[in-house]
Amino acid sequence: MTKQITTRPQLDIERAKNRFAMSDVVRRHVKLRKTGHEYVGLCPFHDENTPSFRVNDAKGLFHCFGCGASGDVIDFIRHVEGRSFVEAVCELLDEDGLPEATPQDRGKAERRDRADRAAAILAAQAEWHEARSIIGTPAEHYLRLRGIFGDMPPTVRFGRVPLWRNKKTGADGRRLPALLLGAQDHTGKIVGVQHVFLTEDGQKAPIANPKLSLGQVRGCAVRLAPPARRIILIEGPEDGLTMRQRVQRAPVWITLGTGMMPFVELPPEVEHVTLAGDNNAPGRAAVAKAMEEYQRQGRTVDAIFPPPAFEDWNDELRGIEMTPPSPA
Ligand SMILES: [Zn+2]
């Protein structure tokens, strides 16, 4: 009889993940504020002044829209406390200072989460339905100031939309002019809208967060062209429209956020993805992660960045406008 000498006590990873509300664990390191069905705070993984770090108890996940950091409660402990996977699991199993989350708690959080998401998608679709062409609007002016001209694809519109909405009461805030971008799911259906709030003369509105989204954005893309065998994924609306203008008929899709770049659910006809990244640390990290993910899906992938002097594609475009073109 051979004796198994490598046997170790089985670590109950599922129990470690589900014992606590994730927000309770995160709160030991990050000050969190509740917003809708999630919590938001300053990201512990990058320097920031406005919170883009979100925690969702129903999913047991965190995600930073600034640097793209994301994961479950074990990942969080590993990265924030510098521990190994096993150490993080043991810490959660041994923890006795936090209230345990019951399966009922999680079920309730999940149901509320689903209902909130469905309502937000309907609100986004209603808003999209009312939106119109940007021609002659502050949105057209805003894009012109960024060197972006010409015809717009149907996913780029203008609207006057409320700054905030209260899901419970149905009340909403002051309406501001906004550039609207329609986020499509993998079937091409609009399920979310990104707002860029503007002033009447086409400047970014002087508010804390001039870019807000309504409905579903994760997994979606703003398609500036229909699905094709090769597409270009790029983070932001201004960069995406810059790329579309620069490369005639380039099939550009916008991911609406650096951290979102790896998560677009692509339709099957897309075989090759070109990742057009930003020249900064979060941009490069998002491209690296996205490259891994789309390759894992069996797609071919390459990456391009603006020249080193420019942080993003629209900066480069405006840079070209300001200095005479050098002889190639
Ligand atoms: Zn971050």
End-to-end CA distance of the chain: 76
In a domain, 82, yes or no: yes
End residue of a domain, out of 82, 101, 120? 101
What is the strand order of the sheet 156-162 is part of?
156-162, 175-184, 190-197, 211-215
Same domain, 191 and 234: no
In a domain, 3, yes or no: no
The closest alpha carbon to 173, from 126, 129, 207, 138, belongs to 207
Q: How far is the CA of 38 from the centre of ligand 1 (A)?
A: 16
Q: What is the structure's pLDDT at 109? A: 80
In a domain, 125, yes or no: no
In a domain, 175, yes or no: yes
Torsional class of 257: left (φ above 0), alpha (ψ -120 to 50), beta (otherwise): left
Q: How far is the CA of 85 from the centre of ligand 1 (A)?
A: 21
Same domain, 193 and 225: no
Q: How far is the CA of 144 from the centre of ligand 1 (A)?
A: 31
For β-strands 230-234 and 272-276, DSSP reports them as: parallel
Same domain, 277 and 309: yes
φ, ψ of residue 53 to 5 degrees: the values are -100, 120
Same domain, 29 and 92: yes
End residue of a domain, out of 101, 124, 143? 101
End residue of a domain, out of 217, 239, 255? 217
**Band of the pLDDT at 257, cuts 50, 70, 90?**
confident
In a domain, 109, yes or no: no
The closest alpha carbon to 184, from 222, 139, 129, 154, belongs to 222
Instruction: Give the domain range for residue 187.
Output: 132-217
Residues with CB under 5 A from ligand 1 (ion): 43, 45-46, 64, 66-67, 69
Same domain, 293 and 228: yes
Q: How far is the CA of 280 from the centre of ligand 1 (A)?
A: 13
Q: How far is the CA of 138 from the centre of ligand 1 (A)?
A: 32
Residue 261 carries which DSSP code?
G
Q: How far is the CA of 323 from the centre of ligand 1 (A)?
A: 34
In a domain, 73, yes or no: yes
Q: How far is the CA of 60 from the centre of ligand 1 (A)?
A: 17
Q: How far is the CA of 324 from the centre of ligand 1 (A)?
A: 37
**Band of the pLDDT at 229, cuts 50, 70, 90?**
very high
Structure confidence by residue, pLDDT tens digits, 302-325? 999 999 889 899 998 888 543 444
Structure confidence by residue, pLDDT tens digits, 172-205? 889 999 999 999 999 999 999 999 999 999 999 9
Q: How far is the CA of 253 from the centre of ligand 1 (A)?
A: 23
Mean pLDDT, the chain, rounded, equals 89
Q: How far is the CA of 51 from the centre of ligand 1 (A)?
A: 9
In a domain, 271, yes or no: yes
* Mean pLDDT, rounded, for 5-33: 85
Same domain, 312 and 262: yes
Q: What is the structure's pLDDT at 326? A: 52
Q: How far is the CA of 58 from the centre of ligand 1 (A)?
A: 20
Same domain, 195 and 268: no
Helix axes 85-94, 73-81, angle to 10 degrees: 110
Same domain, 233 and 151: no
Same domain, 192 and 225: no
CATH number of the domain that residue 292 is part of: 3.40.1360.10
What is the strand order of the sheet 300-304 is part of?
222-223, 252-254, 230-234, 272-276, 300-304
Q: How far is the CA of 42 from the centre of ligand 1 (A)?
A: 8
Our count of domains for the chain comes to: 3
Same domain, 227 and 211: no
The closest alpha carbon to 57, from 92, 105, 121, belongs to 105
Same domain, 91 and 33: yes
Q: How far is the CA of 31 from the centre of ligand 1 (A)?
A: 14
CATH number of the domain that residue 70 is part of: 3.90.580.10
Q: Tell me the residue ranges of DSSP E strands in 165-305.
A: 175-184, 190-197, 211-215, 222-223, 230-234, 252-254, 272-276, 300-304
